[in-house]
Structure 1
């Protein structure tokens, strides 16, 4: 009964946006409102095709008058060249545009709707650039009470950098959420800390109020420091924005980063750096504890997918190792050892052999591709291991800092990573101490 009496909630979006949602009918099972979507599409297409017809009442009255004149048999249809019937009504001269908007993938829209002659012109809206985000923050921060230090050019630049990929709606939400948090604490204006806390909630979820044991706190800090330090050394194209050991969304901690510049492609060397960054957490655990925790499952799944994609989709292969002075037998032995480590790290929980359904699992069905992907993984892990081992005290300093503060943001994090003086060591693949005990 309540459902019958309760009024329908009004949406802030225009009505035409609601109708466009029903048009996205491809790929939807019939039991998931797919039938209604098809009906809505058909009705829209009929309306679009009939827009050139004359108005209904003009057609109605013209037809009735001409029928009446025909039925009385008095007025002839024409006298000479002069017609004695009302002319056929013409369409209105108004220019009518059909405009729709959707945030679903374009390929899921019905081709009957997007073909030339209907909605044939397509416009994609991108997320704001850094300068755009500065302007948007200027707009929203001007509407809410905030600390004066947020108006400094340095702070505004930092805010614009660490919000890479944010939409205008997300920027508005973090400003609103930051002010709400400030009011909750009895303050009339929000500070930098309120703003970054709101960003963290938007990106990673609300922090869960759990307390780690001292040993677990240190282990999580080491894990995340492994990510941050390897990224700082081997991924110059990115910038760290947050290092946290607070539980959010089922994760004990996280390392957040963003691209320094907006790019749409990458090179093999950059993808290899991404692998080192991903397995850097497990390498740090092996350096400090001699074993790894269960917290590396997500990292290994991501690294496996990356390596398989590099091999099976992008046609990449590991570069030859620098082994001057050693014969092919020694090189083959080292590569075999890297493959063995990579096979141990590889996540093999995906069982599909259908490339389109699961391209990663399909690639790993091929024995040769699996060996090459394993070599990518093994080489990345050994590189990360040697790096953390060489910089063990410095990685420990980063871990201690995040252990104390729980979360470090923006420029504070980058100044910390710069201050410890991380070094990329040369790797001698022939020395036994280079290899982790696994």
Structure 2
């Protein structure tokens, strides 16, 4: 077996020049003495960030240079393997990624459907599962979640069962665990009747719009019970892995995000600050459509970062206008559809005021007479869709 040396890159950096470089030398000298060995450097960007000349101090420079020397100094007989981990690959210094150094990158992304099913199998092993637990269903409902989050879901489900003094962990416990991991802890805030009515229409707008655009991101649950920082939320979980979207589908996503604010405007004639999180999502998606995906009103085959300093002010101004056109059009369309289907919106809002929480089956019953009204074209594949977050 090989010796394993794990070190966080942030531990190399000190305010005194030379200490970081000395620590790296010591680490690699020890690894050589005990070869075969593996050196693992976590949070590599703490020491290996690109040298821009702005805010990059002498200690960081010396530490990075020493790391490069150690990497270049290896020969086959050293029998030392060097590995690193970072969440910011794009920020690493190009010298670190040259051949012979960290030239092989392995992306550890969120697991796909098969991966989630296997991970859930590992973390439910040894737990007394009831016959109604469907691990495949849970895997389908947790698209985009990481292995750690899946572990939390399995553990939380067992805790819920234990609190109820149940002998087995049931599907309802997993449903509650997923809700807690995705949306946060349930909180009982004192909300006035007027605010409660606004919340019901806000969340009802999200739910209705999700129904109107078809199966893009089906609603699993909508509630006006507070969780985390949200007064209420609509939980959208894709029923399948999705990787590609058309322009029309992104436009539908914009409408879903804006439907809560739109419902407030349609019903009450004014809006509240409850849509702050929705607007963040809208801004991010519209900007990506314009700057990265070439999906603006002006057809282009070029992509560009919004923070690219090489862009002219005129180009930025035009792109900002295109972004505003996308969001404004989506907001107007959302309000149009909500006015058109106002009776359905009232039904959902009144049901939320009565029950506080509605699941997918209850929503399907309430909206059984409402036909989808979407301009989405048929997709070639699918995008791992972002679940609609709490407002």
For these two proteins, the number of residue pairs brought into alignment is 332
Find the aligned partners of 2:231 and 2:165 in 1 and give their Cα distance.
30
- Decide which of 142, 146, 153 is 1:174's aligned counterpart: 153
Structure 2 counterpart of 1:396: 346
Question: Per-residue deviation at 1:230?
Answer: 0.9
Structure 1 counterpart of 2:172: 193
Find the aligned partners of 2:145 and 2:342 in 1 and give their Cα distance.
35
Find the aligned partners of 1:385 and 1:364 in 2 and give their Cα distance.
30
Across the aligned residues of Structure 1 and Structure 2, the Cα RMSD in angstroms comes to 3.8
Q: Secondary structure at the match of 1:51?
A: coil
Find the aligned partners of 1:287 and 1:403 in 2 and give their Cα distance.
18
The answer to whether the 8 A contact 2:153-2:181 is kept is: yes
Question: Per-residue deviation at 1:310?
Answer: 3.5
Q: Secondary structure at the match of 2:83?
A: coil
The reply on whether 1:356 has 2:356 as its aligned counterpart is no
Flag the 1:277–1:364 CA change in 2: closer, same or farther, 3 A.
farther
Find the aligned partners of 1:111 and 1:231 in 2 and give their Cα distance.
44
Flag the 1:358–1:169 CA change in 2: closer, same or farther, 3 A.
farther
* Deviation string, structure 1 residues 314-361 (Cα, Å, up to 9, x no partner): 444459xxxxxxxxxxxxxxxxxxxxxxxxxxxxxxxxxx941799xx
* Deviation string, structure 1 residues 130-178 (Cα, Å, up to 9, x no partner): 232223223322321233311xxxx333211110012222211111122
Question: Per-residue deviation at 1:208?
Answer: 2.3
The answer to whether the 8 A contact 1:312-1:363 is kept is: no
The answer to whether the 8 A contact 2:161-2:173 is kept is: yes
Flag the 1:51–1:137 CA change in 2: closer, same or farther, 3 A.
same
Find the aligned partners of 1:301 and 1:195 in 2 and give their Cα distance.
29
Structure 2 counterpart of 1:231: 210
Structure 2 counterpart of 1:247: 226
Alignment of 1:160-171 (within 5 A): 160-171=139-150
Structure 2 counterpart of 1:23: 44
- Unaligned segments of structure 1, at least 5 residues: 1-13, 53-90, 320-353, 427-438
Structure 2 counterpart of 1:50: 73
- Unaligned segments of structure 2, at least 5 residues: 10-40, 299-304, 376-391
Flag the 1:263–1:205 CA change in 2: closer, same or farther, 3 A.
same
Structure 1 counterpart of 2:31: none
The answer to whether the 8 A contact 2:204-2:260 is kept is: yes
**TM-score by structure 1 length?**
0.64
Flag the 1:400–1:141 CA change in 2: closer, same or farther, 3 A.
farther
Question: Per-residue deviation at 1:243?
Answer: 2.0
Q: Which stretch of the first structure deviates more once superposed, 114-123 or 187-196?
A: 187-196
Flag the 1:119–1:196 CA change in 2: closer, same or farther, 3 A.
same
Alignment of 1:273-422 (within 5 A): 273-311=252-290, 313-318=292-297, 355-356=306-307, 366=317, 368-369=318-319, 371-409=321-359, 411-412=360-361, 415-416=364-365, 419=368, 421-422=370-371
**TM-score by structure 2 length?**
0.71
Structure 1 counterpart of 2:184: 205
